[in-house]
Homo-oligomer: A and B are copies of this chain.
Amino acid sequence: MGILAIGSIAFDKVKTPFGSREEVLGGSVTYFSLAASHFVPVSIVAVVGEDFPESEVAFLQGRGIDTSALQRKKGKTFRWEGEYEVNINIRRTLATHLNVFADFSPQVLEQHRSLECLFLGNIDPDLQQTVLRQMKRPKIVACDTMNYWIEGKPESLRRTLSLIDILIVNDEEARQIAGEINLVKAAKKILALGPKNLVIKRGEFGALMFDGDSVFSAPGFPMENVVDPTGAGDSFAGGFMGSLATAESVNEDALRRAIIYGSAIASFSICDFGPYHLGKLTSAEINNRYNEFYRLTRFDSL
């Protein structure tokens, strides 16, 4: 199944204990699509400014990513600036300049309306619904969101949640949506709002998936060299959706496998600055990491 992904493209300024970079290609749909492109064809809907180099478009296309719905608008591309503490799991956002992303109006092209997997990145939930309405009924619809929309547009976000299959958020976002600190209780409340599955990203601590009464816990991969965690969550979502899109049926086994593939890709994404090394991964490397996750978690049944 092919994936249509909506989200941001940005240039990031990043400082971590291991160095700093400016004007690095970033944004949610960048990491998502590069991760997913290792599994299935991906088309993106996004917007960049006049300053966005053709070489970056060519980089995405080189991974087979369909950029035909990439809009180029007057003005500058989205800029984000962040800094990580010595404990690299703690991040501070220093600046956000939405630029052309502020007026992003995602348009689904005719040739993308029949795609079977849709990923609604973290944008205004009104826009998420607009995109969904432009699609023929896709088989899998997943979405992300953030505190800005949870606080600012709770009613619209609830409408989005009632229309999707899988919500992929981090632990703080899950708690905030549900108004509940305990994650198991929060998950029950969120599943009651519509999604069939809830995937909770926990950074270095891995991911939890709630699927009806079943819960799946995947660890973060114990990494010796974490250079830049930027984009890890989006890479996770891309690997997850990419793997799921290859499944014959979206059952529990396929969902769990997808969580591990998402975790595997995320573990690679944090090894260096920017998204370029994500493009160079081989299937063998990804499958080796999957197997390492298997060895990391195995124990005998009784």
**For the complex, is A102 an interface residue (Cβ under 8 Å from B)?**
no
- CB <8 Å contact, B296 and A259: no
Distance in Å from the Cβ of A213 to the closest Cβ of chain B?
11
- Chain B CB within 8 A of A248 CB: no
Query: What string of 1s and 0s marks CB contacts (under 8 Å) between A217-246 and chain B?
Result: 111001110100000000000000000000
Residue A300 CB within 8 A of the other chain: yes
Q: Which residues of B contact A206 (CB under 8 A)?
A: 217, 219
One complex includes copies of this chain to the number of 2
Distance in angstroms between the alpha carbons of A224 and B224 in the assembled complex:
33
Indicate if the CB atoms of A222 and B183 lie closer than 8 Å: yes
A10–chain B nearest beta-carbon distance, Å: 28
On whether A287 and B300 interact (CB within 8 A), knowing A184-B222, A222-B208, the answer reads no
Report Cα–Cα, A215/B290, bound state, in Å: 15
The residue that A216 contacts in the complex, of B223, B226, B260, B299, with Cβ under 8 A, is B299
A interface residue count range (under 10 / 10 to 19 / 20 to 34 / 35 or more): 35 or more
Inter-chain CA distance A182–B17, complex, in Å, is 12
Q: Are A219 and B222 in contact (CB under 8 A)?
A: no
Distance between A206 CB and nearest chain B CB, rounded to angstroms? 8
Query: Could you tell me if A87 and B185 are in contact, using CB atoms closer than 8 angstroms?
Result: no
Set of chain B residues within 8 Å of A299, measured between Cβ atoms: 216, 218, 253, 256-257, 259-260, 294, 297
Q: Are B300 and A184 in contact (CB under 8 A)?
A: no
CA distance A298 to B300 in the complex (A): 11
Interface of A: prevailing SS: mixed
Q: With a CB–CB cut-off of 8 A, which chain B residues contact A181? A: 86-88
**A184 neighbours in B (Cβ, 8 Å):** 222-224
Closest to A226 in B: B182
Choose among B214, B256, B301 the residue that contacts A300 (Cβ–Cβ < 8 A). Answer: B256
Evaluate whether A294 and B301 lie within 8 angstroms (CB atoms) in the complex, with A215-B222, A224-B182, A224-B184 already known: yes
Asked if A94 CB lies within 8 Å of chain B CBs, one says no
B185 pairs with A216, CB closer than 8 A: no
Contacts of A193-210 to chain B: CB distance below 8 A: 202, 205-206, 208
Chain B proximity of A155: nearest CB distance (Å): 26
A291 within 8 A of B: yes
Of the A-B pairs whose beta carbons lie under 8 Å apart in the complex, a sample of 20, sorted by A's number, is: A86-B181, A182-B226, A184-B222, A184-B224, A185-B224, A205-B205, A206-B217, A214-B295, A215-B296, A216-B296, A216-B297, A217-B222, A217-B296, A218-B297, A253-B300, A256-B298, A256-B299, A256-B300, A287-B302, A297-B299
